[in-house]
Amino acid sequence: MLKTSGADKEGAAERRAISADLIAVLVAAPNGNPVVLTVKEGTTLPSGPFALGHRSLQSGLRDWVEQQTGHPLGYIEQLYTFADRDRSIEEATRRVISISYLGLTREEPSHRTPPDSWRNWYEFFPWEDHRTGAPALIDDIIVPRLRQWADAAEQQDKRQNRLRRAASVFGFDDRHWNEELVLQRYELLFEAGLVEEAVRIKGGTAVPGRTMTGDHRRILATGIGRLRTKIKYRPVVFELMPPAFTLLQLQRAVEALAGVTVHKQNFRRLIEQQDLVEETGEMSADTGGRPAKLFRFRHAVLDERLVAGTK
C-alpha cells in the first residue's frame, strides 16, 4: 500500500484512475445571517475538477471564487481531504479525491450569484441554532429518537455507550451544549440513521433538516465546526464584516456563526481589552436606540502578535 519512496512503476496503472476535485464551503454573514454558497437549489456545494493550471490549490480556489462572486475572498483554510471508496457509486473503478476548503467573504451576496444560492446554514442543521434557546426539535424529536437508537443495541454496555455519546454531543441529561461539535452531532445522527443521507442506505425516516448531495452536508458540518472553533482563538470574524461596524453587529455575526448568544458587556470587554478594533470616529444612526460608535478592525494586530479571537 505505502512504499518507502514515491517513484515506482507498478503504481502507474492505478494512478491513472485517480482524479481530484475541489469543494468549497464559502461563508458570509450579511446582517447576522450565517449563509453558505450552494448550487442546484441548495443541494450541492460548489465544486469542480482540480486542474493543472494553477500554482496551488488555494490560488485556484481564490481565483475561481472571486471570478464567480465578484468579491474578494478574505480567508481560506483547508478543511479535509476525502477519498473513501464509498463516497459515491461510480468509484468502484475510479477514485475521486476531494479536497475541501473553507472560505470567508466579507461582502453581501450580490447580483453575480442567483439570489437563492446563498442559504442560511441552519436550514441544513436546524438543531444547531441555539440563539433563542435550544430548538424544540431537539427535545421533541431528536432526543427521543436517539434514545430509541441507543435502546436498540444488543448488549447492555453498548446501549450505555450510545446513550452517553448522544447525551454528550447533544447536551441532554444535564451536560451542556458544546457548539463546536457540529460534525460529531451530524455523524451521530448519521450512525443512528436519522439523516436523509443515511436513510438512503439503511432506510428509516430522517429528522428535519435539508439534505445535500453525496457527503456535502458532512463537509459543510466540518466547515461550520471548524469555523466555530476558530473564531475563539483567531480574529477571523472580521473577514465577514464590512469595513466599519458597530460592536453589536460584530456580536451578532459571532453569534450567528457560533449559534449561541453571548453576554453583551463581556463581549465588549473582551474585544476592547484585546485591542482588536479602533473607533472610526463616526457614529451609526440606525441602531433603533442610542447611537453606537463605529469601529474598524485593526489590521496591525495580525503582525503584532498571534492574537486570540473573539471569545
Q: Which spans of this chain sit near a copy of itself (rule: CB under 8 A)?
A: 1-6, 8, 11, 14-22, 24, 39-40, 44, 46-57, 60-61, 63-65, 78, 80-81, 83-86, 93, 95-97, 99, 161, 164-165, 168-169, 175, 178, 181, 184, 303-306
Of 48, 110, 291, 302, the one binding DNA (CB under 7 A) is 291
Per-residue x/- mask for DNA, residues 228 to 267, rule CB under 7 A?
------------------xxx--------------xxxx-
**Residue 264 partner contact from a copy of itself, DNA, none using kind-dependent CB cut-offs of 5 to 8 Å:** DNA
* 174 Rama sector, left if φ>0, alpha if ψ -120 to 50, beta otherwise: left
Q: How far is the CB of 171 from a copy of itself (least distance, A)?
A: 11
For the chain, helix (H) and strand (E) counts, in that order, are: 11, 8
Of 290, 300, 303, 305, the one binding DNA (CB under 7 A) is 290
Counting contacts by CB under 7 A, is residue 281 touching DNA?
Answer: no
Using an 8 Å Cβ cutoff, are 130 and 138 in contact? Answer: no
Of 13, 285, 300, 306, the one binding DNA (CB under 7 A) is 285
Q: Where are the alpha helices (DSSP H) in the chain?
A: 12-16, 57-69, 136-137, 143-151, 156-170, 182-191, 196-202, 216-233, 247-258, 264-273, 301-304
Using an 8 Å Cβ cutoff, are 200 and 73 in contact? Answer: no
Window of 43-51, 124-132, 223-231, 283-291 that interacts with DNA by CB under 7 A = 283-291
Total residues contacting DNA by CB under 7 A comes to 18
Whichever of 24 and 241 has its CB closer to DNA, that residue is 241
Its sign, for the CA torsion 147, 153, 154, 157, is: negative
Q: How far is the CB of 155 from DNA (least distance, A)?
A: 34
- If you ran DSSP here, which 8-state letter would residue 142 be given? I
3-state class percentages of the chain: helix first, strand second, coil last, to nearest 5: 45, 20, 40
